[in-house]
Amino acid sequence: MFLEGLDALDQKIVRLLIENARASYSDIGQKVGISRVAVKTRIQALEQRGIIEEYTTIINPQKISGAMSCYFEIETEPDTLTQVTEILERNEIITQIYRVTGKDKLHVHAVASSNEEMETLIRDVIDSLPGVVSCSCNMILSRIKDIKGLRL
């Protein structure tokens, strides 16, 4: 995939970081043929431009005993969309919120430590959201493919 403003060397560096965000500047430099200092400078420039947003540890909730993940499709009245997103943003069980096209206005991902915690989220938060036209919930049974971020 071509990204305007990202040269071939930056693409190689980003690919290596996607494979292993903990790779050292020296290791990356050896693989792309530039110095450690040049790698550091390029990565810092990518961070400053907002192309690289963060480095994080991703936990697979399905590997933790009892944890469960669900996706919600929530359609709201237009005048309550902002209020609904603010309520969802404040909840620590909600991990992702996307505004989407089509019938549903929000695509929401939640990870709970147990069935009971997910039920509490649904009962106390989701069911009481203002202006909801429709809401569906899908429990994630298994992860088949899960790519984080953009693939170059």
Residue 33: CATH number of its domain: 1.10.10.10
**Quick one: 18 and 44 in the same domain?**
yes
Which residue stretches of the chain have pLDDT < 50? 1-2
**Per-residue tokens: 55:** 């480095």
Q: Which pLDDT belongs to residue 94?
A: 97
Q: Which pLDDT belongs to residue 43?
A: 95
**Quick one: 134 and 89 in the same domain?**
yes
Q: Is residue 22 part of a domain?
A: yes
First to last CA, the chain: 5
Can you give the pTM of this predicted structure? 0.68
Domain span holding position 73: 61-139
How far, in Å, CA of 108 to CA of 123, rounded?
Answer: 16
**Quick one: 35 and 92 in the same domain?**
no
Q: Is residue 2 part of a domain?
A: no
Q: Which pLDDT belongs to residue 104?
A: 67
Q: Which pLDDT belongs to residue 74?
A: 96
Q: How many CA atoms lie within 13 A of 102 on its CB side?
A: 8
Write the CB contacts of 94 (distance below 8 Å, at least 6 apart in sequence): 88, 108, 109, 110, 121
What CATH number did the domain enclosing 71 receive? 3.30.70.920
Q: Which pLDDT belongs to residue 1?
A: 46
